[in-house]
Structure 1
Amino acid sequence: MKIKRIALGTAAVLAATLVVAGGGAYLWAERHDSLDAIDPPDAASFDSELIDRGETLAAAGFCASCHTRSSAEPYAGGRPMETPFGVVHATNITPDPETGIGRWSADAFRRAMHQGIRRDGAYLYPVFPYDHFTRITDDDIDALYAYFMTRKPVEQATPENGLSFPFNVRTLLAGWTLLYLDEGRFEPDPDRDDEWNRGAYLVEGLGHCGACHTPRNDFGAVNEDARFTGARVDGWYATPLIPHSPAPVPWSEFGMVNYLIDGWDMDYGIANGPMQPVVNSLARLPEDDVYAISTYLLSFQDDESDVSRDDLLADAEARAFADDRVPEDERLEEGPLRRGQQRFADSCANCHRSVSDTAPLALLSSVQGDDPINLINAIIDGVEPPDGVPNKSMPGFSSMPDDEISDLVAFIRHHFTDEPAWENVSDAIAESRRNFQ
């Protein structure tokens, strides 16, 4: 038995040694050379039409949303990105020669976008969605390069990332890349028309919608088996997209285009949280591109739905004006739904019963969906609508005690939906408090 244990132990050590040796050999084979630094190119050396196209593409990719911390210094980086592995800071992508990408050649920029490798040969963390950007054409990458290299240089060093061992070892990303990077440019579907393919290119590549709206696995890679089913991002819930959308009213082309360009539609509500700057970027796109995005996403919707929009709107209005849907056993006692109903009457009813000015709560994904965090964030921090939606802001109620917020959320969920009560409301309130400290 002792000999057998020794043999098994030796085999285990040998296997581990082979794994380590093999992993080391792979990492060595996958090392990447540093690309030569260049002198920052003169902005006048870039064609103006190429720069303009790059500006539109940067809007389509929402680049400023991540790479801008202060509106006074666009693209200077520094914004902290929370991940399950720690904090990663967005980098400076202005043409500053010391702290930005001023000494990056077009080849270095293209390699970063397509392969996730910096000019010095180190791997970029996949919080930068190069697993989506790998689909962008070389011509579009060159236009983006022209745009960024003609921005105002800002000298601002990127803060140190807050990643613990072993996640702070960039070399290990070679293994991540081997497993999860499907490198290659977008290939149009010959069975689809040009508009659908343009929408697919924008959604799957440059727009990287799945980076937020698809959950990730334990290694931080997009879980393709749960595509567009929603995920937590920066303390918000990126709601499921078609065909998984919790919106009661099926999405129409008009409603989706309206929402993407203006950030508001009567049937779906207001874009809030991380979606707000996305909408502000989309508003700068040609309308044809926004219609293409809508065409692509709507192609996944079940066209055979027997849900009547008129019936849903009538039900939403009836719920808005209904005085009491609290169960009988709570009507004579101070239960959470009763207390929430009173708080709603005191703080919310004046606006949310005026259905001509606000989307009915019964139609909102933040009320109908599986996660309460978006509704709680709106209550605590308010709603700051996108630029195209004036006069639809909502004040925050951060001074409201947690127990009253919990009661209010329970009442809104009960009164305006037929969905089961949320179970994680207290934890979500605590998380929201931390996010808006």
Structure 2
Amino acid sequence: MTRKSRWLIAGGVVIAAALIISFLLMWKPAIAPVSPPAPTSFDARTRLAGARVVALGDCIVCHTAKGGKPFAGGLPLATPFGTIYATNITPDVGTGIGDWSLEAFTRALRYGVARDGHLLYPAFPYIHFTRMSDPDISAAYAYLMTREPVKATAPANDLIFPLNFRPLLGFWNVLFLHPGAQQPDASKDTEWNRGKLLVDGLGHCASCHSPLNLIGGEKSGHAFDGGIVDGWEAPALNALGAAPKPWTREQLVTYLRTGRAGEHGAAAGPMLPVTRDLATVPEEDVQAIATYVLSIQKAQPGATHATGSAVDSTSPEVQRGATLFAASCAQCHGPDAPMQSIGERPTLAFSTAVNAATPRNAIQMMLIGNGWHGEDSMNYMPAFNQIYNDQQIADLASYIRATYSQRGAWQDIEAMAAKLRKEDDAR
């Protein structure tokens, strides 16, 4: 037998062993379907508690497609590995979870396993939901089972090979799924422990606000260091103390409940619908979240001074940006704009996006804006993607950085604008 043949056989044995191990890790028995429970079988108190749990978990945000029925799925979730489509979690029997028992629902939240036994992709944050209490899970089940059933099948996921091979999730779960209730810290008070449970568990904040490793797991040792979601930067939650105006607890509570904070700015992108959910829960929940988040602040080297080369305010791009700003932005964001006081819009000098290490969110705000939300016009900003080209967006960003931030110049702004515009158009 030649050396090449031996290597081929050895390679085949390794692949076969990996497939067998993957199957053993992946295989879970199906849980028998049930008849949809009657809405009247759940009491009003439990349904109300469920509404609170579902809002804190942001379930409607991910499980509702643009223009679709609530909780009916179909929303495309962009990942570095392709697109995953959110599933239907209405009580429809054919396409939703209408034939799921509480046992099946609990297993999905705790272990990422569907009723029929297949493993769920971790875009569904079961690695955080696994910390949920039994009463919270039961309440969420009661609430969802009393929603309007919607017959809607989500499109097939579009993932790159081999990540579209579900058995690999068995290995992924070994690395990142750690089931078990979160134990309270006896050295902390009740509010802090409640906040930690909401942030780490039901609220799954680290899913968006942490960087991911090469296989899509939250990078070890970098929780809350910031991440990228749907083309937007989810800022580092442990750097709020290093903002030009450090966040206070009261400001963070207001921001999480209203989508705006007087000395910081307005929520946009994926965060905006989260704040609309948090507006519906008891304020004590949001206060607990804010208390915990502000307790995890870390020193940020270089945060108080410019990073990178200084912005040349006389450069051609900054001068062109000044003209564009006067034409399209100064009415709301200029120093003499009435909306600065009437609308409680903060100066751009305090903006998280303007002071960020990259121009990503500033560009996205200019390209996408903040849509009109009826009478709640406070967070409105028009989109400029059909008005300004990539160079003009870059010029505006250069002017804003030079005028309103003490930090260093952004690099390759036009290239990022072109990239983000292409990604936004594909969504």
Q: Same fold (TM over 0.5)?
A: yes
On the 8 A contact 1:277/1:386 being kept in 2, the answer is no
Aligned to 2:331: 350
1:180-329 alignment, distance < 5 Å: 180-243=176-239, 247-301=243-297, 327=312
Among 60, 72, 85, the residue aligned to 1:64: 60
After superposition, the Cα gap between the structure-2 partners of 1:264 and 1:385, relative to the gap in structure 1 and judged at 3 Å, is: farther
Q: What are the superposed Cα offsets for residues 145-183 of structure 1, whole Å, 9 maximum, x if unpaired?
A: 111111100000111111132121111211111111112
Aligned length in residues: 412
Query: For residue 35 of structure 1, what is the amino acid of its counterpart?
Result: I
Q: Which has the greater radius of gyration?
A: 1
Equivalence map 1:356-375=2 (5 Å): 356=341, 357=343, 358-375=345-362
Structure 2 residue corresponding to 1:411, chosen from 389, 393, 399: 399
Q: Work out whether residues 260 and 279 of structure 1, in 8 Å CA contact, stay in contact via their aligned partners in 2.
A: yes
Say whether 1:422 aligns with 2:413.
no
The one-letter code sitting in structure 2 at the alignment partner of 1:343 is L
1:434 corresponds to 2:399: no
Q: What SS class does the counterpart of residue 368 from structure 1 fall into?
A: coil
Cα distance in 1, alignment partners of residues 348 and 149 from structure 2: 45
Mapped to 2, the partners of 1:125 and 1:427 lie a distance apart of 32
Q: What is the SS of the residue equivalent to 2:14?
A: helix
- The two structures have a TM-score, normalised by structure 1, of 0.88
Contact kept? 1:78, 1:89, Cα under 8 Å: yes
- Describe how 1:114-133 pairs up with structure 2 within 5 A: 114-133=110-129
Say if 1:45 and 1:377 are closer, same or farther in 2 by CA, change over 3 A.
same
- More deviation in 245-254 or 78-87? 245-254
CA distance in 1, matches of 2:78, 2:299: 38
Aligned counterparts of 1:326 and 1:106: Cα–Cα separation in 2: 58
Counterpart of 1:91 (choices 87, 94, 108) is 87
Unaligned runs of 5+ residues in structure 1 are 313-324
CA distance in structure 2 between the aligned counterparts of 1:326 and 1:29, rounded to whole angstroms: 57
Instruction: Identify the range of structure 1 (352-361 vs 286-295) with the bigger mean alpha-carbon deviation.
Output: 352-361
CA deviations on 1:385-412 (whole Å, 9 max, x unpaired) are 7789543412222211221111111111
Match for 2:155 among 159, 167, 182?
Answer: 159
Query: How far apart are 1:239 and its partner, in Å?
Result: 1.1
Tell me the residue number matched to 1:170: 166
Q: Aligned partners of 1:275, 1:246: CA distance in 2, in Å?
A: 20
Aligned partners of 1:220, 1:169: CA distance in 2, in Å? 14
Match of 1:395 among 368, 379, 382: 382
Shift of 1:414: 1.6
Question: What's the offset of the Cα at 1:328?
Answer: 7.5
> Match of 1:20?
15
Whichever residue aligns with residue 416 of structure 1, its letter is Y
Alpha-carbon distance in structure 2 between the residues aligned to 1:59 and 1:287: 13
Q: How many Å separate the matches in 1 of 2:372 and 2:190?
A: 32
Cα distance change of structure 1 residues 282 and 21 upon mapping to structure 2, 3 Å threshold: same
Per the alignment, residue 381 of structure 1 pairs with 368
**What amino acid is the match of 1:338?**
Q
1:143-158 matched pairs, under 5 angstroms: 143-158=139-154
Structure 1 residues 275 and 400: alpha-carbon distance in aligned structure 2, compared to 1, 3 A threshold: same
The answer to whether the 8 Å contact 2:311/2:409 transfers is no
> CA distance change for structure 1 residues 24 and 433 in 2, over 3 Å: closer, same or farther?
closer
Unaligned runs of 5+ in 2: none
1:289-347 Cα deviation digits (max 9, x unpaired): 11000110111236999x99xxx9xxxxxxxxxxxx985764xxxx1111112222222
Q: Give the aligned residue type for 1:412.
A: I
Give the C-alpha shift of residue 382 in structure 1.
1.9
In structure 2, how many angstroms separate the alpha carbons of the residues matched to 1:124 and 1:424?
A: 38
Deviation per CA, 1:48-70: give whole Å up to 9, x if none: 21111011000000000000114
Cα contact 1:326–1:338 (8 A) shared by 2? no
2:320 to 327, 331, 339: 339
Distance in 1 (CA, whole Å) between partners of 2:119 and 2:292 is: 32
What CA deviation, in whole Å up to 9, does each residue of 1:95-151 have, x standing for no partner?
A: 000000001111111111110011111110111111111111122111111111111
Report percent identity of matched pairs: 41
User: Alignment RMSD, CA only?
Assistant: 2.5
C-alpha distance in structure 2 between counterparts of 1:12 and 1:295, whole Å: 58
